């Protein structure tokens, strides 16, 4: 694989010969507002104008590399095209998307290649790892954004990520983040005579929290336990990356939902 290419947060894969994945470009076009069905890669490639362009490229490139290559099966499945066809597809989609593709190419060229220490394969592995960790740990939007920003910086990519993410209970419609505190702080503030550990064990019974583990040299038998909110628990709080160790989550609870959470705790035997 070659250099990573990103449009509107969509990673465009490249094959071993440097061609770009048209299927990924289609996803980026949809993100930019294009119609999913009318701008399908198959429709673009089957048009007479594109067919003529492919024939011309096949004759003039003379590099032994076909302008279009289809990979069937495996993680690299898709249709890959040369740069000229990327521009042609972008123009076919819309002037807006065409300009976005041009500017993305220009940004990559002007900022140079990804540092040798951070290969495209490593960046893609980082993206996969982040997505997996975010799903497994139910990370908050702000924590996920922070992780993607670090990866973007490490890869030397243009600063295309938003600088702010909203953390709010499901169903909130005002578009604003809600204040949160740790469980122990909220228990104390509300005069609840229960330790955070006791409360967490009650929350486990409610399906709101769960205990996870990670390897640790200082932990008992090499294992360290930590708390994490479940998908259900995200109604009452958020998982942030622990300041003590980035491999752990640290639940924070919405102040506005804590009274409701206390009522649920009262129902546990």
Domain extents for the chain? 6-112, 116-155, 180-267
Return the higher-pLDDT residue of 259 and 133.
Answer: 259
d(C-alpha 160, C-alpha 158), whole Å? 6
Q: At residue 239, does pLDDT exceed 90?
A: no
Whether residue 36 is predicted with pLDDT greater than 50 in this model: the reply is: yes
Q: Is the pLDDT of residue 79 over 50?
A: yes
Query: pTM of the entire structure?
Result: 0.43
- Greater pLDDT, 153 or 24: 24
Residue 198, pLDDT score? 94
Encode burial over 205-214: b for 16+ CB neighbours within 10 A, e otherwise: ebebbeeeee
- Residue 207: pLDDT above 50? yes
Confidence of residue 115 (pLDDT cuts 50, 70, 90): very low
Instruction: Give the confidence band of 76 by pLDDT, cuts at 50, 70, 90.
Output: confident
Where is pLDDT greater, at 75 or 27? Answer: 27
Tell me, what's the pLDDT at 128?
A: 74
pLDDT at 155: 67
Average pLDDT over residues 79-100: 93
Mean pLDDT of 58-84: 83
What is the average per-residue pLDDT within 78-102? 93
The predicted model gives 153-181 an average pLDDT of 63
Q: Would you say residue 18 has pLDDT above 70?
A: yes
Given a cut of 50, whether residue 117 has pLDDT beyond it is no
Q: Which of 202, 198, 200, 199 lies closest to 212 in space, CA to CA?
A: 200
Above 50 in pLDDT, residue 1? no
- Asked if residue 195 has pLDDT above 90, the reply is yes
- Chain-wide mean pLDDT for the chain? 81
Q: What average pLDDT does the segment 245-265 reach?
A: 87
């Amino acid at each position: 694989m070659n250099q990573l290419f990103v449009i509107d947060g969509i990673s465009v894969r490249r094959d071993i010969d440097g061609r770009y994945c048209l299927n990924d470009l289609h996803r980026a076009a949809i993100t930019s507002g294009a119609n999913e069905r009318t701008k399908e890669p198959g429709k673009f490639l089957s048009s007479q104008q594109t067919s003529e362009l492919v024939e011309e490229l096949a004759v003039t490139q003379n590099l032994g590399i076909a302008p279009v290559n289809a990979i069937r099966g495996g993680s690299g499945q898709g249709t890959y095209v040369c740069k000229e066809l990327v521009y042609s597809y972008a123009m076919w989609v819309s002037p807006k998307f065409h300009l976005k593709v041009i500017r993305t190419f220009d940004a990559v060229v002007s900022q140079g290649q990804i540092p040798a220490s951070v290969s495209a394969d490593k960046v893609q592995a980082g993206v996969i790892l982040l997505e997996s960790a975010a799903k497994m740990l139910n990370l908050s939007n702000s924590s996920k954004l922070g992780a993607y920003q670090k990866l973007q910086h490490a890869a030397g990519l243009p600063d295309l990520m938003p600088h702010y993410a909203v953390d709010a209970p499901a169903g909130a419609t005002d578009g604003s983040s809600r204040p949160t505190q740790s469980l122990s702080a909220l228990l104390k503030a509300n005069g609840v005579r229960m330790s955070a550990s006791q409360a967490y064990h009650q929350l486990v019974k409610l399906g709101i929290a769960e205990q996870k583990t990670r390897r640790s040299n200082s932990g008992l038998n090499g294992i360290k336990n930590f708390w994490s909110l479940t998908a259900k628990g995200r109604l009452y709080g958020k998982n942030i990356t622990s300041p003590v160790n980035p491999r752990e989550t640290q639940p924070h609870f919405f102040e506005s939902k804590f009274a409701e959470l206390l009522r649920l705790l009262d129902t546990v035997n």
